[in-house]
């Protein structure tokens, strides 16, 4: 029966496992991608420690995590719980529309926001500016660039959470809801004491995934700001990418990748514990 | 489930849900609206309706983004990935769901762990390794990368479909003298085919939309995917945003149409790993 697993495992080992082990090794070497790697021990990590953009990127990842642990989860929960009130056909329509941003390619979403909304020339922001509103392109300011990018990802993301939470809410046992209703619980009491506790495992899982994904965020930052202006929206994954492919400093890129993985690893531990408890 | 509420609650509910609807649709409406306008019209007011519908934007977008080539590339890449993920994934999911091997637990844990591995953890050695082997700008090589990244998710989803098949069906086939391969291909696969279709749709969506791997591994002009080609077109400075939005619409439209018709499958599939029934 192992034969059935060979294709999957072979592809996985060649594409993911071996390169991942090489990344761990590379983190201790100086390498430009072409000439022979030179072992430098902890040199890459020492260099990162005194690298300003690295700390900005790490801080931005933490801010990003904080935003995504709260805002989209709250939005998703609110919308999902309200969907319980509307009739079935209505809730399907709302769900489909909320889910549309999820299925649009990130590169396209990024460009639509960049050109049609944020742009001072062709975007809605520029139009409002012309009407006299004191509004500026958030991507061009060091103080707001990260939030400008996060807004785009929020738009792209919250519908997914809403749909997941709604699916989970509908699986809360009917008896519990009936019992609460007989006791005269209002909708909000129902949320607080029956529905939210009922979907706690789903919320937990989504929060863990949020932590993992927050350290992987790449597309929107790379396309919208390239980490700028002045590294103000840089995150670890774009920093690692820049180090590897623009600075040809593959060792430091690998070291940065290890830092990303470290945060992911902690979250992954909890993820596997929850997933295996429920599905194995 | 239906919670009957007072009129006031109901009104507030629709208002809030309506705001959500507006938020989700606003950028999409801008996309469609401005794909039909000239560059000057957009500069004047991106919110205005087009004076005349400019379908020539689409013709120019198709040519400038080289979609006749990049759509073929994207379709090839997506198709290859779907076939690879579904074939290798369903075999793996069958063995793991039925606990055919002793180490099923270890393998399952390993696959779960790789679903959360950051791409950067393996991207750099992979790139330089592929470069050495001459596999950059090779669509098949990229579909292998996609397969590695997406198949753990596919396997976890397919596993739940295999788990739902009663053991008696399999036992009956074995008693009738079917070999293990026959049981898998003739009995099990047809039963889980709805699951395979769901996986195919979602993996297709992911592959069609993917950016990071595609932009790193497929750089030659005649190998670009549609999304990367769009990205490069829209990155030029003398940008005609009517044309760019037209290019965006060309890429998005087939996906949205497919999604609207098969929304149930998409949503259940994507939510599949996260909500346990």
Q: ipTM of this model? A: 0.91
Q: From B12, B15, B53, B8, select the one nearest B34 (Cα to Cα).
A: B53
> DSSP characters for B109-128?
HHHHHHHT--THHHHHHHHH
β-partners of residue A29 are A39
Question: Which chain B residues have a beta carbon less than 8 Å from that of A254?
Answer: 124-125
Q: What fold does the segment set B67-234 form as a domain?
A: MetI-like fold (1.10.3720)
Q: How many alpha carbons fall within 13 Å on the CB side of residue A197?
A: 9
**Cβ of A87 and B151 within 8 Å?**
no
Residues ≥6 apart with Cβ < 8 Å to B165:
B188, B191, B192
Spans of all domains in chain B: 67-234
Angle at B276 between CA B270 and CA B277, to 5 degrees: 110
User: What are the tokens at B13?
Assistant: 């509910």
**What does the pLDDT read at residue B113?**
83
Output the six-digit token pair for B6.
């007072």
Compute CA B119 distance to the chain's CA centroid, rounded to the nearest angstrom.
17
Q: Which of A26, A75, A218 sits opposite B125 (nearest CB)?
A: A26
pLDDT tens-digit series, residues A104-128: 999 999 999 999 999 998 999 999 9
List the structure tokens of A275: 């997933």
Of A5, A112, A280, the CB nearest to B92: A5
Collapsing DSSP to helix, strand or coil, B270 comes out as helix
Q: How many CB pairs under 8 A join A and B?
A: 303
Name the residue of chain B whose CA is nearest to A248's CA: B124
Q: Which residues of B touch A121 (CB under 8 A)?
A: 43
Spatial separation of the C-alpha atoms in residues A163 and A83, rounded to whole Å: 10
Q: Do A268 and B116 touch (CB under 8 A)?
A: yes
For residue B66, give the 3-state DSSP assignment: coil
* DSSP summary character for residue A138: G
CB-CB under 8 Å, B46 with A123: yes
A268: contact with B, CB 8 A cutoff: yes
Q: What confidence tens digit (pLDDT) does each residue in A133-178 have?
A: 888 999 999 999 999 999 999 999 999 999 999 989 988 888 888 8
| Nearest chain A Cα distance for residue B73, angstroms | 16
B15-29 pLDDT, tens digit each: 999 999 999 999 999
C-alpha B191: how far from chain center: 24
pLDDT > 80? residue B3: no
pLDDT at A280 over 60: no
Going from the C-alpha of B190 to that of each of B21, B87, B100, B150, the distances in angstroms are: 39, 13, 19, 22
Percent of chain A at pLDDT > 70 equals: 98
Q: Report the alpha-carbon distance of residue B243 to residue B233 in Å, rounded.
A: 9
Restricting to A residues 15-74, those with a Cβ less than 8 Å away from any Cβ of B are: 15-20, 22-23, 26, 33
Please report how many Cα atoms fall inside a 13 Å half-sphere around the Cα of residue A118, on the Cβ side: 20
B-interface mutation test, from A2, A3, A6, A8, most B Cβ less than 10 A away: A8
B-chain residue closest to A32, CA distance? B128
CA distance A145 to A142: 6
Phi/psi at B195 (5° precision): -65, -40
d(CA A92, CA A89): 5
Binned at pLDDT 50, 70 and 90, residue A201 comes out as confident
Q: Does A133 touch chain B (CB under 8 A)?
A: no
Inter-chain residue contact A4 with B92, CB threshold 8 Å:
yes
Residues 170-189 of A with CB under 8 A from B: 170-172, 174, 177, 181, 187
What domains can be seen in chain A, in order of their start residue?
A: 2-279 (1.10.3720.10)
Sign of CA dihedral B196, B87, A20, A238: negative
Q: Dump pLDDT digits (tens) for A83-107.
A: 988 888 889 999 999 999 999 999 9
Binary contact (B1, A86; C-beta < 8 A): no
Paired strand residues for A30: A38
CB-based contact A108 B180, cutoff 8 Å? no
pLDDT band per the 50, 70, 90 thresholds, residue B54:
confident
Distance from CA of A250 to the nearest CA of B (A): 7
Position A65 confidence tier, pLDDT thresholds 50, 70, 90: very high
Which residues in chain B touch residue A216, judged by CB atoms under 8 angstroms apart?
118-120
Closest A-chain CA to B263 = A96
């Amino acid at each position: 029966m192992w034969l059935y697993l060979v294709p999957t495992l072979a592809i996985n080992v060649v594409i993911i496992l071996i390169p991942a082990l090489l990344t761990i090794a590379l983190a201790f070497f100086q390498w430009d991608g072409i000439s022979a790697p030179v072992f430098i021990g902890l040199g890459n990590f020492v260099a990162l420690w005194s690298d300003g953009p690295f700390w900005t990127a790490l801080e931005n990842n933490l801010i990003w995590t904080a935003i995504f642990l709260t805002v989209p989860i709250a939005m998703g929960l609110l919308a999902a719980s309200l969907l319980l009130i509307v009739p079935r056909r209505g809730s399907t329509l709302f769900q489909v529309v909320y889910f549309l941003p999820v299925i649009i390619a990130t590169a396209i979403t990024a460009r639509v926001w960049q050109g049609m909304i944020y742009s001072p020339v062709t975007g809605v922001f520029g139009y409002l500016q012309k009407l006299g509103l004191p509004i500026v392109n958030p991507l061009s300011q060091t103080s707001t660039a990260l939030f400008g990018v996060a807004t785009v990802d929020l738009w792209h993301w919250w519908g997914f959470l809403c749909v997941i939470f709604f699916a989970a809410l509908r699986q809360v046992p009917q008896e519990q809801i009936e019992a609460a209703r007989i006791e005269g619980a209002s909708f909000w009491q129902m949320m607080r004491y029956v529905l939210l506790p009922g979907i706690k495992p789903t919320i937990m899982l989504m929060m863990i995934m949020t932590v993992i994904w927050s350290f992987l965020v790449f597309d929107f930052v790379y396309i919208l700001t390239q980490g700028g202006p002045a590294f103000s929206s840089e995150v670890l994954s774009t920093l690692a990418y820049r180090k590897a492919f623009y600075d040809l400093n593959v060792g430091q890129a690998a070291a940065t990748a290890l830092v990303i993985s470290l945060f992911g690893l902690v979250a992954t531990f909890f993820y596997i514990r929850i997933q295996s408890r429920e599905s194995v | 489930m239906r919670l009957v509420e007072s009129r006031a609650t109901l009104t507030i509910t629709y208002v809030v849900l309506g705001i959500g609807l507006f938020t989700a649709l606003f950028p999409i409406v801008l996309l469609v609206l401005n794909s039909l306008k000239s560059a000057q019209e957009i500069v004047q007011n991106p919110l205005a309706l087009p004076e005349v519908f400019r379908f020539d934007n689409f013709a120019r977008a198709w040519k400038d983004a080289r979609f006749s080539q990049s759509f073929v590339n994207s379709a090839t890449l997506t198709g290859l990935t779907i076939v690879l993920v579904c074939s290798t994934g369903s075999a793996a999911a069958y063995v793991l769901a039925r606990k055919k091997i002793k180490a099923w637990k270890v393998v399952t844990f390993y696959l779960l762990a790789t679903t959360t591995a950051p791409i950067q953890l393996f991207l750099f050695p992979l790139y330089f390794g592929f470069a050495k082997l001459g596999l950059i700008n090779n669509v098949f090589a990229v579909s292998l990368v996609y397969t590695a990244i997406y198949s753990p998710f596919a396997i976890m989803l397919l596993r739940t479909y295999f788990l739902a098949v009663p053991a008696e069906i399999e036992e009956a086939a074995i008693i009738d003298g079917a070999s293990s391969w026959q049981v898998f291909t003739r009995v099990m696969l047809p039963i889980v085919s709805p699951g395979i279709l769901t996986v195919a749709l979602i993996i297709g969506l992911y592959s069609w939309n993917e950016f990071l791997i595609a932009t790193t591994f497929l750089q030659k002009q005649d190998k670009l995917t549609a999304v990367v080609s769009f990205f490069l077109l829209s990155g030029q400075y003398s940008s005609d945003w009517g044309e760019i939005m037209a290019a965006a619409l060309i890429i998005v439209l087939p996906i949205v149409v497919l999604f609207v018709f098969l929304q149930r499958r998409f949503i259940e599939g994507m939510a599949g790993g996260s909500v346990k029934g």
